[in-house]
Amino acid sequence: MTIKTPPQTPPVWTLTPEQITSETAKMIESTKSFHDSIAKIENPTFESVIKAMADMDNVRYGQINQLTFYHHVSTNKELRDSSSKAEELIRDFDIETSLREDLFKIVSAVFKQQPDVDPESKRLLEKMHLDFTRNGLALPEEQRNELKALQKKISNLEVSYNKNLGEESGFILFTPEELLGVPDDTLAQFEKVDGKYKMTFKYPDLFPVMKYAQLPDTRRRAFVGDQNKVMENVDLLVEAVKLRAEIARILGYETHSAYVLEERMAKSPEIVLSFLNDLREKLRGAGAKEIAKLLELKTVDQKSLGLPVDESFNIWDYRYYDRLLLEKEYEVDAQKISEYFPMQSTVEKMLGIFEVLFALKFVEVVGGDRSVWHEDCKQFAVWKDDSGEDEFVGWLYFDLHPREGKYGHAANFNISPGYTDANGKRVYPVTALVCNFSKPTANKPSLLNHDEVVTFFHELGHGIHDLVSVTRYGRFHGTNVARDFVEAPSQMLEYWCWQKAELKGLSSHYLEPSKTIDDDLIDKIVKSKHVNGGLFNLRQLHFALFDMTLHTSNGDIDVTKAWNEGRQEISLMSQGNETTYGFGSFGHLMGGYDSGYYGYLWSQVFAADIFYSKFRAAPMNTTAGLLYRDTVLKSGGSREELDNLKELLGREPNNVAFLTELGVKV
């Protein structure tokens, strides 16, 4: 394949705080002026109203995403603050726009015409009309004004919540004795303060302490500290739950969940709760057996360490004894395994898998040609080469290591969607993976444990979805699908991290690059896949049921009680006498997953069905990969997700593969 010059230049990352402020104001003003002109059209048509608004949105989405992305990744606090403020202003403006009666009337006029347009354009018109009706435009003016005020309050709460989470800089100081058992490599990365180790709540610090610290009180302090790290967010979430319930009531919905789920694949709270409670019932027995086994291990371990025997299994014990069980009974040594997955070569080989599956080519931009927001970033031009000639796909960024003020988890961010512009020309997407994997040290490169390999593969799956999607309108591009389906494509790709041949192909020992991981070690990893799977999924069920409990209420609910009691009852693990406030850092609930966390489990049903049906027998089958790419990924949200699945599978999807994978009898 001969690589040509990309037909589209990458974004430029040189905005100052002042420029973000001025660009945001300019965009809001020009958009308002444009909408004013649309609202005055006397003989509205699809072209003059719907397509014209979509053409503006196509451009605007990219502008918004870039302006608001800085607060996730910039090292400059002023830039982050300016970006965060821009998000707040844009959200407020969008709320104003969504409640404009004049725009609703003109969109409704086109909707009533039922114009003869292509299927994606018809879907756009339907969605645009539904947006206005769901925002209460059919209500009297007084109620509309009340809605507007409430929605702005929620928007501001969400911005503040996420800003607090992003700016979180808490830590605990531990003595060397308190960190007994934590690997030297981890300790070497900790800052020292007055002879003590500074453990932040970033994952590369926290998780090794939870997994390896031998003293129960160290694990307890780390767990409770992490749970309570953003206490200022507690009241923000409580207030948001009340406001959401009030908005649902005004709009005529029984609950916030009923409102949200109307547009999801699941359609209703009853269906979601039935799904979650059925799964909880099926997993409860497995979870109880797993707790009993871990408790036996804990008793032996405490005696061997000369510690008092604690007969309860606490939630801060889970990562430690899960790791110990894997090492002792399955001989899965996470540290040893990580030696075979140095980040540089592992990432290159992951990209190689996607090149085979989806006929892609990733060309890294190096040196002075890069256009990045931080020196740690990698930039790739992505091409497709299955049509006989090179075809540009879009731009991909990797920002993989933690730093001050940076988004603290792992996520894919769309910077700019793909679409067809007003002149019929293709505009290509830009997407970024933002992760927090440990940095290289003086003696070792960054090494990924197997969990991190899975995480990276998952997030890269979102990035690929973003890149290979080809839609006419940015609104439907890539991962802009029903929220309870959005995780399915990435969850499906996680299966490659548990296949023997693919794992071996990804591996390369950091000291001996030609040495791949032993077959015996791979067998142990694969065998361990669903060890404590009952408890893992019960933990997910706690999050999902907590979310549903909040959002099927009338807003008058004791959130702290629901969080703490629900965790003990569902996860089957004790919290001792601790009251925690982990919902203050449960970003999903203030980041678009309100009444939607169930989607992680719901979408796994589709992920398992796709993998078992199309890839299990031959994971690197390019024919199956291209069929999946062009049937599910390419159309983004421009078609009903269920229609895509039925076309791919040749039947209705079912949960047989999902339950089989979990070891539940079907």
Q: What is the CATH number of the domain that holds 98?
A: 1.20.1050.40
Q: Does 32 share its domain with 107?
A: yes
Say yes or no: 186 and 114 in one domain: no
Q: Is 306 left (phi over 0), alpha (psi -120 to 50) or beta?
A: left
Same domain, 26 and 158: yes
Same-domain pairing of 476 and 619: yes
Q: Which of 219, 252, 287 marks a domain boundary?
A: 219
Residue 173: strand pairing partners: 198
Same domain, 121 and 212: no
Provide the pLDDT for residue 666: 65
pLDDT at residue 282 tops 90: no
Q: What is the 3-state secondary structure (H, E, C) of 192-243?
A: EECCEEEEECCHHHHHHHHHHCCCHHHHHHHHHHHHCCCHHHHHHHHHHHHH
Domain range holding 359? 343-496+611-661
Q: Which of 143, 166, 189 is the last residue of a domain?
A: 166
Overall average pLDDT of the 341-350 stretch: 96
pLDDT at 3: 60
Percentage of residues of the chain with pLDDT beyond 70: 99
Instruction: Report pLDDT digits (tens) over 490-525.
Output: 999 999 999 999 999 999 999 999 999 999 999 999
Distance CA 114, CA 107 (A): 11
Q: Three-class SS of residue 249?
A: helix
526-551 confidence digits (pLDDT tens):
999 989 999 999 999 999 999 999 99
Q: Look at the chain and report how many structural domains it folds into.
A: 3
Mean pLDDT of 301-309: 95
| 197, 100: one domain | no
Residue at 45 is within a domain: yes
Instruction: Please report whether residue 278 resides in a domain.
Output: no
219-233 mean pLDDT? 97
Domain annotation covers residue 197: yes
pLDDT surpasses 60 at 1: no
**By C-alpha distance, which of 113, 104, 105, 95 is closest to 47?**
113
Stretch 24-31: mean pLDDT, rounded?
98
For residue 501, being part of any structural domain is answered with no
- Does the pLDDT of residue 560 top 90, yes or no? yes
In a domain, 28, yes or no: yes
pLDDT > 90 in the chain, percent: 89
Residue type, 108: S
Give dist(CA 399, CA 437) in Å, integer.
10
Q: Report pLDDT digits (tens) over 158-174.
A: 999 999 998 999 999 99
432 beta partners: 397, 413
Residue 394 lies in a domain: yes
- As a whole number of angstroms, the distance between CA 540 and CA 534 comes to 10
Examine the domain organization and report whether 149 and 199 are in the same domain: no
Residue 466 pLDDT > 90 = yes
pLDDT above 80: residue 2 = no
Q: Are strands 430-434 and 411-416 parallel, antiparallel or unpaired?
A: antiparallel
Question: What is the rounded CA–CA span in Å between residue 631 and residue 171?
Answer: 47
pLDDT confidence of residue 578:
95
Q: Give me the chain's average pLDDT, please.
A: 95
In the prediction, which pLDDT does 662 show? Answer: 81
* pLDDT at residue 663 in the model: 79
Q: What pLDDT, on a 0 to 100 scale, did the predictor assign at position 390?
A: 87
Q: Are residues 145 and 116 in the same domain?
A: yes
3-state secondary structure of 453: helix
pLDDT for res 82: 98
Same domain, 62 and 210: no
Same domain, 175 and 118: no
Active site positions, annotated:
459
Both 633 and 490 in one domain: the answer is yes
Q: Which CATH number does the domain housing residue 408 bear?
A: 3.40.390.10
Choice between 226 and 591, residue whose per-residue pLDDT is larger: 226
Question: In the listed set 132, 150, 166, which residue is the last one of a domain according to the structure?
Answer: 166
pLDDT in tens, 108-126: 999 999 999 999 999 999 9
**How far is residue 179's CA from residue 150's CA, in Å, rounded to a whole number?**
47
Instruction: Write the pLDDT tens digit of every residue in 128-186.
Output: 999 999 989 989 999 989 998 999 999 999 999 999 998 999 999 999 999 999 999 89
pLDDT of residue 386: 85
* 548 in a structural domain: no
Do 88 and 183 reside in the same domain of the chain? no
Does any domain span residue 439?
yes
pTM, two decimals, is 0.83
